[in-house]
A = this chain, B = another copy of it.
Amino acid sequence: MTVTQTQTSGTAAEPLEDLCASAGTPHPRPDGQDRYTISEVAAFTGLSAHTLRWYERIGLMPHIDRSHTGQRRFTNRDLDWLAFVGKLRLTGMPVADMVRYAELVRAGDHTFEERQELLRATREDVRRRIAELQSTLAVLDFKIEFYADARRASERF
């Protein structure tokens, strides 16, 4: 195994800000603890344990703390990050781009500009998708109304 343990545990320098941005409820966590097993996190996030490990492998998560026996112990910060990733996922952002963002976060504060730019592009994308969806909504309404009319008409004969 050649896991790069280097930038893993000892990072007190890792930017905090990215993790408490879910706005609203700050930490409505299952319990007050700060060391969750993978299955707890799976239950809490709705992601499977498989997916959580995969996220770590591909670099979408920071390397997760381990217990003395090598098992993952997720922190509240990890949960915050997962909540944010969940939001990005909802936007339809490809996983590769999320990984890119995660890399920028790990790289430090000097990537603020690039991160902001990435989020801005994502925001425009989301706006576009909302507009698209609203146009499909108009079509759906139109056709649903058509069927309603047609059925009313056929009942009258």
Contact surface of A with B, Cβ cutoff 8 Å: 17-18, 21-23, 84, 87-88, 90-91, 109, 112-113, 115-116, 119-120, 122-123, 126-127, 129-130, 132-144, 146-148, 150-151, 154
Contacts and interface: CB of A to CB of B under 8 A. Distances in A.
A151 B151 CA distance: 60
A61 B154 CA distance: 27
Given A113-B151, A115-B147, A139 B21 contact: yes
A139 B136 CA distance: 25
Question: How many copies of the polypeptide does the oligomer hold?
Answer: 2
Contacts of A142: 21, 23
A124 to B, nearest CB: 10
Contacts of A115: 147
18 contacts: A18-B143, A21-B139, A23-B142, A87-B135, A90-B132, A90-B133, A91-B133, A91-B140, A112-B150, A113-B147, A122-B140, A123-B140, A123-B144, A127-B137, A130-B133, A130-B134, A130-B137, A133-B133
A109 B90 CA distance: 37
Nearest 8 pairs of A and B residues by beta carbon: A116-B147, A123-B140, A87-B136, A87-B139, A90-B132, A91-B136, A90-B136, A130-B133
